[in-house]
Structure 1
Amino acid sequence: MTQQDDRWLAGAYVDPEVYTLRPDYRALLILADDLVPGPSDDASEKLLRSAEERAVPDHPHVEAWRDAFRAFGAKPQRTRPSVDALLRRVPQGLPRVDRLTDAYNAISVEHAIPIGGEDVDRYHGPLRLVRANGSEPFDTIVDGQPAVEHPAAGEMVWRDDDGVTCRRWNWRQCLRTRIGSTTTRAVFVLDALAPMTDAALAAAGDALAEALRATSPGVRLTPRTLGAGPG
């Protein structure tokens, strides 16, 4: 990692208002350099099949995330935490998107933890989790066309200087920073609440690191944990 990468990762933060709502919240950030993008392949297929076999649909960590969504006004039946949405797709088969997205989706399902992946080169300013004021732009697709939406006031959002990168904590990513066919540098965000322990969060991070090395053998990884929770 370069000094610039280190400074960018060090600049990431969680606003204190998030901890007021959920003092048990922790985020494990993993900055990855020298990734190998591309379509789904044998390595990512192996990861997804393993996740489908080991998935636990009614995991207590998923219910904790449903409670967190309700606490800031979201309805988890309509806008589900990302891991909840993935687990519901297991009986029909997880989506095959691309080798990097497949890797983190597989670990998300296997460890029952929301995980997002973002292209670092498309960021402007530090990554931070805040409660929205409602004016922040969020670029997305509506009815098949590019559109700009705005979060509800009080909604939990990840953002940078240009706008929202992920709405409702881990519900939906924007177009601008999502991983694509040219992504070689990315940040992966692993979201944890009680009852997930720090040890379980670390284990999920280790599993993601192993999955990224399986799809990108030369990848360089730098982790950073935000927040403090039960051991």
Structure 2
Amino acid sequence: MKKFVVENEFWDVFPKAKIGVVISLGIDNHKKEIEKYEEMIMAAEKEAMEHIQGSEFSDNKVIKVWREAFQKFKTKKGARSSIEALLKRVHNGNHIGSINPLVDIYNAISLKYAFPCGGEDIDTFVGDIRLTRAVGDEEFIPLGSDENAPPYEGEVIYRDDAGAICRCWNWREAVRTALTENTKNAFLCLELVDENRYEDFENALKKLEEMVSANIGGTSRTAVLDVDHREVLIKE
């Protein structure tokens, strides 16, 4: 049995946050229609421009709210939320390339609705996955590297019993749990800190589940974790 648990240490800092989860089991994540996913991302990039209309990039609300959130815990210098990184690429005219169906789908949702969105391979988890604050000695090998880069003490991280899975909340993911074409069971998450956007958040989570089910099969279900609902079963 594996669970996703958002621990008290997180809620102490972000009591109004919500974490949306899509749990997808028995999927086929192999690339079969590359052009379809390219078109999906390009359409989302166009929609994303609606969220970055301000003259100063950092003043756009969907970016500013995450910069303020990152100021509430210790982060690596220069670390930014995943949604800021995506929107900056679009803002600078750089296309978001296709990786694999699951990543393409969550990137498209992230761009369209302007929320951080990510995913992990459930079968790589060691024990439960937790959103918490780091002790500071958790092993973490980021994507694109083979060197250990543990989080700072107090940093918001996703982790399991083997170490950190994602640093600075949603900034950088670990290679160990990354989604690949061979992923059969996936854990996707969508994160909200701006309580005024809850309706958009609900719509994004629903659309994420629909797109996964329609494109790569399997069985999917959603859950929303908040300060009153702190855990969900991932897999028996």
TM bucket normalised to smaller: 0.7 to 0.9
Q: Does 1:225 align with 2:227?
A: no
Give 1:154 shift. Answer: 0.6
Amino acid at match of 1:13: V
Question: Do the aligned partners of 1:100 and 1:215 also contact (CA within 8 Å) in 2?
Answer: no
CA distance in 2, matches of 1:19, 1:197: 19
Partner in structure 2 of residue 193 of structure 1: 193
Which SS does the other structure have where 2:12 is aligned? Answer: helix
Whole-angstrom CA distance in 1 between matches of 2:83 and 2:145: 26
SS for the counterpart of 2:71 is helix
Contact 1:35 1:185 in 2 (8 A): yes
Amino acid paired to 2:102: L
The percentage of aligned residue pairs carrying the same residue is 31
Q: What is the distance in 2 between the residues matched to 1:20 and 1:205? A: 24
Encode CA deviations 1:94-136: one digit per residue, 9 max, x unaligned: 1221222111001001110001110001011111111101011
Unaligned runs of 5+ in 1: none
Q: Which residue of 2 aligns with 1:85?
A: 85
**3-state SS of paired residue (1:139):** coil
Cα displacement string for residues 186-219 of structure 1 (whole angstroms, at most 9, x for unaligned residues): 0001111114433221101111122213421x22
Q: Distance in 2 between matches of 1:63 and 1:126?
A: 32
**What is the rounded CA distance, in whole Å, between the counterparts of 1:159 and 1:82 in structure 2?**
17
How many residues align? The count is: 217
Give the Å deviation of 1:45: 1.7
Asked if 2 retains the 8 angstrom alpha-carbon contact of 1:47 and 1:211, the reply is no
Q: Which amino acid aligns with 1:224?
A: A
Q: Which residue of 2 aligns with 1:124?
A: 126
Q: Does 1:24 align with 2:16?
A: yes
Q: TM-score scaled to structure 2, two decimals?
A: 0.85
Do 2:209 and 2:222's aligned partners in 1 also have CA atoms closer than 8 Å?
no
Shift of 1:145: 4.8
Does the 8 A contact of 2:134 with 2:155 survive in 1? yes
The alpha-carbon distance between structure 1 residues 145 and 116, as it changes in their structure 2 partners (threshold 3 A), is closer
Partner AA of 1:17 in structure 2 = E
Counterparts of 1:105 and 1:53, CA distance in 2: 13
| Counterpart amino acid of residue 47 in structure 1 | M
CA distance in 1, matches of 2:170, 2:112: 17
C-alpha displacement of 1:47: 1.7
Q: Does 1:46 align with 2:45?
A: no
SS at match of 1:153: coil
Alignment partners' CA distance in 2, 1:196 and 1:14? 21
Relative to the length of structure 1, the TM-score reads 0.87
Answer with 12-21 or 156-165: which moved more.
12-21
Structure 2 unmatched ranges of 5 or more: 55-59, 229-236
